[in-house]
């Protein structure tokens, strides 16, 4: 009898990437393959998307643990992607079903844009009828058909445009922002040298996400997005007015960021050429156009994209293996910093509704559908791009608010200061800048900032205000009280890490002795350690994580010729965030955390793993150790132990990454986060001060929402001794990290 398909004992998953490629797709494929194998399923990669599904044969290949080794850091998709017209026909889809059944696959993880996911859902809906047709034409045996009554779909959105409703971020959008922001920073310096104007066109199809966020992150002078088109008659005039005012105020460059889908309110496209002509004619400036194009799609994925894709891939496998076989298609997404599943078609339909609203020129609905944080970001941008602030409203109280940076430097501090100063001034307040942390505050290093004092701050690493770890004690407090009175301060914003928080809390705790301290104070989390209370993300941690990921990438490359294991030490104090997230993003074998401790048994087990791996062809190992993981089992101790025991089999080198982790220009994520935090903090101080209240709080993003926790409540959730939250959200990802880093499936279990 002719074999007409397979009825495997194990569950079989097919994984494909389809439509436009996006950085991070490889990380998703790797996670799908490894999580599925670990769960006891078989995984097939379907090469070249739906095209490969229709071609079948060699295009559908069984994957093993090592097939997806060494791809985490690569851009694009190693299993290929394509657009396929044939799949849009029923005949094409019938052939696709036949090929899936021939391989016993009835679960699919589709990584692509809304087109690819729509196609997947159609395939699921038509599955039984197509299977019946295949049985009728004797292409498939009845037994096979009966063994696969349903097709299960889990979709992951791979798209740099971040245009899917139902997920806060799509795979690739963060990396695209990295590319854009790097380019705009570079253009900005040449533009400033020549006093030129630049029009920079960014991708995004009908979504303004990339344009909006890159404008927010770079301090562009003007931004045009599809969801908020300007008036037909006077958009050019308004834009030129702001650009000219910027020049008059001392801006050396004019940058306009233009989304590729930008139009005016009548729906007429606004192209880069149109913007260039307008600026040339009206302002007589030398204007250059840069269309960023495919650079935005390329390159190694950012740490955020690697970790997002990894989590989404694992969630897709859980859905495909544990969900009900006849359940609707689901899409895995990120909502409020957690992975969620949403009904796929609902998400696609709502995404199409945005386009329908844009087509109908119903801009308000389009903006609403993009969501709260998109709307808010646009509102903030409109203030920040202003060349000059609004005139103060007569009769409204003008507050005197101070801003300072304290503790260790964190990339993004300047971005926060810039946003705080500009938003404060725009609301009519006096913004006082304190230099050199609490020491500078004591010494009276304070000046009033104006709008242009923070020009260029958006993209700068370090802290222009200067920084210091000083904690005020004894007579310092008296001096500080005097300063607050002399300056008639109505509120204080402290941007920094835990020592800054402690200093700010000291003022609060000393209120009984110093009535001058009865002013509202707010702390903005800025530290690479990401160890602050009531904040899931602190400004600077994403930049540090990317610096670590880059460094580990280079370290790995240095070892191509030899069998080598690296022990890499990263910062974080007692908090393992950087160590763990960099392990997840680099595919390191092990991570040593203070949260878990290190025992001799752990080290022996890891040594066994290395010996076993290097004996069977492994060429490279990376172990990441948090700086305070264990006082005895230091980085050099672990390295020496492995070196001694590795004998001739492999060499060991250690690397302490050190202060490079605190440096560098902030990533787009950190810039946007810093800006949003700062705006909320100024609003907080304003509300407290105008209501005659003197609340003191820390701000934090928790479950995707900004919240304030009063100083009195901080200790409830914070371990002051170890300087980290008692419960850390990212520890929930720990099992995933352990699973993916194994040398092969079931390694842990075999060892147990």
Residue 618, helix vs strand vs coil: coil
Phi then psi for 86, rounded to 5 degrees? -60, -30
Pairing of strands 696-702, 705-710: antiparallel
Residue 205 in contact with ligand ADP, rule: CB under 6 A: no
Give Cα 126 to chain centroid, integer Å.
Answer: 36
CA torsion, ordered 704, 706, 709, 710, to nearest 10 deg = 180
Phi then psi for 741, rounded to 5 degrees? -85, -5
Least separation in angstroms between residue 247's CB and ligand ADP is 41
Axis-axis angle for helices 303-322, 577-586 (nearest 10): 70
Q: If you ran DSSP here, which 8-state letter would residue 588 be given?
A: -
Q: Which of 740, 717, 712, 735 is nearest to 727 (CA)?
A: 717
Q: Which of 1, 238, 217, 192 is nearest to 670 (CA)?
A: 217
Output the DSSP codes for 325-394: TTSPPEEEEEETTEEEEEEHHHHHHHHHHHHHHHHTT-HHHHHHHH-HHHHHHHHHHHHHT-SSPPPPPT
Q: Which of 416, 454, 706 is nearest to 543 (CA)?
A: 416
Binding track, positions 154-173, relative to ligand ADP; x by CB under 6 A: -----x--------------
Closer by beta carbon to ligand ADP, 88 or else 271: 88
- Residue selected from 16, 25, 29, 84 as contacting ligand ADP according to rule CB under 6 A: 84
Q: Is the separation of the CB atoms in 221 and 243 below 8 Å?
A: yes
Q: Which of 318, 312, 314, 319 is nearest to 339 (CA)?
A: 312
CA distance 168 to 159: 12
State the residue number with the nearest CB to ligand ADP: 115
Output the DSSP codes for 146-167: HH----EEEEEEB-TT---TT-
Give yes or no: 542 in active site.
Answer: no
Among residues 161, 490, 542, 606, which one is catalytic?
161
Edge-first strand listing for the sheet containing 620-626: 590-592, 620-626, 564-570, 651-656
Least separation in angstroms between residue 116's CB and ligand ADP is 3
CA distance 650 to 617: 11
16-35 residues near ligand ADP, rule: CB under 6 A? 18-20
Q: What angle do CA 738, 60, 84 make, to 5 degrees?
A: 110
Least separation in angstroms between residue 510's CB and ligand ADP is 58
Helix (H) or strand (E) holding 695: none
CA distance 558 to 564: 10
Phi then psi for 30, rounded to 5 degrees? -60, -45
Residue 87 in contact with ligand ADP, rule: CB under 6 A: yes
Number of residues that bind ligand ADP (CB under 6 A): 17
Least separation in angstroms between residue 613's CB and ligand ADP is 38
Least separation in angstroms between residue 169's CB and ligand ADP is 16
35-74 residues near ligand ADP, rule: CB under 6 A? 50
Q: Which of 295, 177, 32 is nearest to 542 (CA)?
A: 177
Closer by beta carbon to ligand ADP, 113 or else 261: 113
Closer by beta carbon to ligand ADP, 83 or else 511: 83
Least separation in angstroms between residue 61's CB and ligand ADP is 20
Q: Is the separation of the CB atoms in 612 and 743 below 8 Å?
A: yes
Pairing of strands 491-496, 521-525: parallel
CA distance 256 to 239: 9
Least separation in angstroms between residue 625's CB and ligand ADP is 40
Of 108-116, 234-242, 298-306, 619-627: span binding ligand ADP (CB under 6 A)? 108-116
Closer by beta carbon to ligand ADP, 159 or else 582: 159
Count of C-beta atoms within a 10 Å radius of residue 129: 12
Binding track, positions 109-148, relative to ligand ADP; x by CB under 6 A: ---xxxxx-xx--x--------------------------
Q: Is the separation of the CB atoms in 365 and 226 below 8 Å?
A: no
- Residue selected from 83, 196, 252, 619 as contacting ligand ADP according to rule CB under 6 A: 83
Q: Is the separation of the CB atoms in 643 and 651 below 8 Å?
A: yes
Least separation in angstroms between residue 42's CB and ligand ADP is 25
Residue 88 in contact with ligand ADP, rule: CB under 6 A: yes
700-729 residues near ligand ADP, rule: CB under 6 A? none
Least separation in angstroms between residue 677's CB and ligand ADP is 33
| Residue numbers at the binding site for ligand ADP (CB under 6 A) | 18-20, 50, 83-84, 87-88, 112-116, 118-119, 122, 159
Q: Which residues are catalytic?
A: 161
């Amino acid at each position: 009898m002719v074999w007409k398909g397979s009825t495997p004992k194990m569950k079989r998953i097919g994984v494909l990437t389809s439509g436009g490629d996006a950085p991070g797709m490889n990380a998703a494929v790797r996670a799908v393959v490894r999580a599925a194998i670990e769960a006891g399923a078989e995984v097939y990669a379907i090469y070249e998307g739906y095209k490969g599904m229709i071609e079948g044969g060699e295009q559908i290949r069984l994957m093993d643990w090592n097939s997806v080794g060494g791809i985490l850091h690569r851009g694009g998709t190693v299993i290929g992607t394509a657009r396929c017209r044939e799949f849009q026909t029923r005949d094409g889809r019938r052939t696709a079903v036949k090929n899936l059944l021939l391989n016993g696959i009835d679960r699919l993880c589709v990584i692509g844009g809304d087109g690819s996911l729509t196609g997947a859902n159609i395939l699921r809906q038509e599955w039984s009828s197509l299977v019946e047709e295949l049985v009728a034409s004797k292409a498939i045996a009845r037994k096979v058909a009966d063994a696969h009554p349903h097709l299960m779909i889990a979709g992951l959105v791979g798209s740099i445009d971040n245009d899917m409703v139902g997920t806060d971020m799509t795979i690739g959008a963060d990396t695209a922002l990295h590319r854009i922001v790097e380019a705009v920073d570079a253009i900005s310096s040449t533009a400033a040298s020549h006093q030129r104007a630049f029009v920079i066109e960014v991708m995004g199809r009908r979504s303004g996400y990339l344009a909006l966020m890159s404008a927010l992150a770079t301090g562009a002078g003007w931004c045009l997005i599809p969801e908020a088109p300007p008036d037909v008659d006077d958009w050019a005039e308004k834009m030129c007015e702001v650009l000219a005012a910027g020049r008059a105020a001392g801006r050396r460059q004019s940058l306009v960021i233009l989304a590729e889908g930008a139009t005016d309110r009548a729906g007429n496209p606004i192209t880069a050429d149109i913007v260039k002509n307008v600026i040339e004619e009206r302002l007589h400036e030398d204007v250059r156009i840069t269309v960023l194009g495919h650079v935005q799609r390329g390159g190694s994925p950012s740490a955020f994209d690697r970790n997002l894709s990894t989590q989404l891939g694992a969630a897709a496998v859980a859905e495909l293996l544990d969900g009900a076989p006849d359940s609707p298609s689901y899409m895995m997404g990120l909502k409020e910093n957690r992975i969620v599943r949403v009904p796929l078609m609902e998400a696609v339909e709502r995404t199409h509704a945005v386009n329908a609203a844009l087509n109908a020129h119903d801009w308000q609905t389009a903006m609403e559908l993009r969501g709260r944080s998109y709307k808010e970001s646009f509102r903030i941008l409109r203030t920040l791009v202003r060349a000059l602030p609004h005139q103060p409203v007569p009769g409204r109280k003008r507050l005197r608010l101070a801003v300072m940076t304290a503790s260790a430097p964190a990339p993004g501090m300047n971005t926060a200061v810039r946003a705080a100063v500009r938003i404060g001034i725009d609301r009519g307040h006096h913004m006082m800048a304190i230099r050199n942390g609490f020491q500078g505050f004591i010494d009276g290093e304070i000046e009033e900032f104006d709008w242009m004092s923070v020009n260029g701050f958006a993209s700068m690493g370090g802290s222009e205000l200067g920084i210091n770890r000083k904690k005020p004690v004894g007579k310092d407090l008296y001096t500080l009280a005097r300063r607050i009175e002399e300056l008639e301060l109505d509120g204080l914003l402290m941007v920094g890490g835990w020592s800054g928080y402690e200093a700010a809390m000291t003022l609060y705790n000393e209120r009984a002795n110093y009535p001058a301290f009865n002013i509202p104070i707010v702390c903005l989390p800025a530290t690479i350690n990401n160890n602050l209370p009531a904040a899931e993300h602190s400004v600077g941690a994403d930049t540090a994580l990317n610096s670590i990921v880059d460094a580990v990438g280079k370290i790995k490359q240095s070892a191509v010729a030899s069998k080598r294991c690296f022990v890499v030490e990263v910062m974080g104090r007692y908090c393992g965030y950087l160590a763990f997230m960099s392990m997840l993003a680099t595919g390191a074998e092990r991570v040593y955390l203070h949260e878990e401790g290190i025992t001799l048994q752990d080290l022996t087990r890891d040594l066994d793993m290395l010996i076993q791996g290097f004996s069977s062809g492994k060429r490279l190992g990376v172990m990441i150790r948090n700086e305070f993981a264990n006082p005895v089992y230091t980085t050099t101790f672990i390295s020496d132990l492995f070196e001694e025991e590795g004998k001739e089999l492999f060499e060991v080198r250690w690397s302490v990454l050190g202060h490079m982790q605190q440096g560098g220009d902030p990533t787009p994520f950190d810039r946007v986060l810093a800006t949003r935090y700062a705006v909320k903090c100024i609003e907080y101080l304003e509300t407290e001060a105008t209501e005659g209240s003197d609340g003191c709080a820390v701000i934090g993003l928790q479950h995707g929402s900004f919240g304030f926790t009063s100083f009195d409540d901080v200790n409830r959730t914070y371990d002051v001794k170890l300087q980290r939250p008692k419960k850390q959200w990212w520890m929930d990802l720990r099992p995933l990290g352990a699973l993916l880093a194994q040398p092969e499936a079931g390694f842990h279990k075999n060892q147990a």
